[in-house]
Structure 1
Amino acid sequence: MSADPWKIAAKAQYALWVVFLAQVAVGLFVKLPYDYWLSWLPALGALGIGLVTARSARHRIKNRPPAPVAVAPPVTGRWSAVNSPADKVPSHGTHSLAQTYAIDIVAEPADGPARPRTVLLWPVARRNRDYPAFGAPLYAVAGGTVVHAEDGQRDHLSRGSLPGLLYFWLVEGVFRTVGGSRRVVGNHIVLDLGDGTYAVYAHVQRGSLRVRPGDEVETGRLLGRCGNSGNSTEPHVHFQLMDGPDLETARGVPFTWHGVGVPGNGETFTVDADATAPVRSQDA
Structure 2
Amino acid sequence: MIEARESIIVEFPLRGEWLSPNTPGTKIPSHGTDRFGTRYAYDFIQVDWERTGWPAYRVSLPKYLLFGVSLSDYYCWGQDVYAPCDGVVVQAKDGYEELARTNLLTDMSKAYKNARYFDPKKDDVQSVAGNYIIMECGDSVYAALVHLQTGSIQVSVGQGVKKGEVIGKVGHSGNSFAPHLHFQLMDNSDISIANGLPCAFEQYEVFQDGEWQIVVNGIPTDKDRIRFGY
| TM-score (norm. length: structure 2) | 0.81
TM-superposed CA distance for 1:124, in Å, is: 2.6
TM-superposed CA distance for 1:74, in Å, is: 0.3
Question: What residue is the counterpart of 2:181 in the other structure?
Answer: 237
Write the deviation string for residues 33-77 of structure 1: whole angstroms up to 9, x where unpaired: xxxxxxxxxxxxxxxxxxxxxxxxxxxxxxxx9920000000000
Question: What residue is the counterpart of 1:181 in the other structure?
Answer: 125
TM-superposed CA distance for 1:120, in Å, is: 4.8
TM-superposed CA distance for 1:220, in Å, is: 0.6
Question: What residue is the counterpart of 2:61 in the other structure?
Answer: 119
Establish whether residue 264 from structure 1 lines up as the match of residue 221 from structure 2. yes
* Paired residues for 1:77-96 under 5 Å: 77-96=16-35
Tell me: higher relative CO, structure 1 or 2? Use CA pairs within 8 A at least 6 residues apart.
2
Q: Give secondary structure in 2 for the equivalent of 1:184.
A: helix
* Paired residues for 1:64-103 under 5 Å: 67-103=6-42
Q: Give secondary structure in 1 for the equivalent of 2:36.
A: helix
Taking a change above 3 Å as real, the CA distance of residues 180 and 198 of structure 1, as seen in their structure-2 partners, is same
TM-superposed CA distance for 1:266, in Å, is: 2.7
User: Counterpart amino acid of 1:251?
Assistant: N
Taking a change above 3 Å as real, the CA distance of residues 109 and 125 of structure 1, as seen in their structure-2 partners, is closer
TM-superposed CA distance for 1:247, in Å, is: 0.9
Q: Give secondary structure in 2 for the equivalent of 1:258.
A: strand
The structure carrying a bigger helix percent of its residues is: 1
TM-superposed CA distance for 1:147, in Å, is: 0.2
Identity over aligned residues, as a percent? 32
TM-superposed CA distance for 1:209, in Å, is: 0.9
Question: What residue is the counterpart of 2:155 in the other structure?
Answer: 211
Counterpart Cα distance in 2 of 1:68 and 1:118: 39
Larger Rg over CA atoms:
1
User: Counterpart amino acid of 1:87?
Assistant: T
* Paired residues for 1:20-39 under 5 Å: none
Q: Give secondary structure in 2 for the equivalent of 1:183.
A: helix
Structure 2, unaligned runs of 5 or more: 205-217
- Do the aligned residues in 1 keep the contact of 2:68 with 2:104 (CA within 8 Å)? no
Question: What residue is the counterpart of 2:140 in the other structure?
Answer: 196
Taking a change above 3 Å as real, the CA distance of residues 158 and 85 of structure 1, as seen in their structure-2 partners, is farther
Counterpart Cα distance in 2 of 1:255 and 1:118: 35
Counterpart Cα distance in 2 of 1:109 and 1:79: 10
Aligned counterpart for 1:152 among listed residues 70, 73, 95: 95
TM-superposed CA distance for 1:82, in Å, is: 0.9
The structure carrying a bigger strand percent of its residues is: 2
- Do the aligned residues in 2 keep the contact of 1:74 with 1:138 (CA within 8 Å)? yes
* Structure 1 runs (4+) greater than 3 angstroms displaced: 108-111, 120-123, 174-180
Aligned counterpart for 2:79 among listed residues 125, 136, 142: 136
- Do the aligned residues in 2 keep the contact of 1:176 with 1:230 (CA within 8 Å)? no
User: Counterpart amino acid of 1:218?
Assistant: K
Equivalenced residues, count = 202
User: Counterpart amino acid of 1:232?
Assistant: S
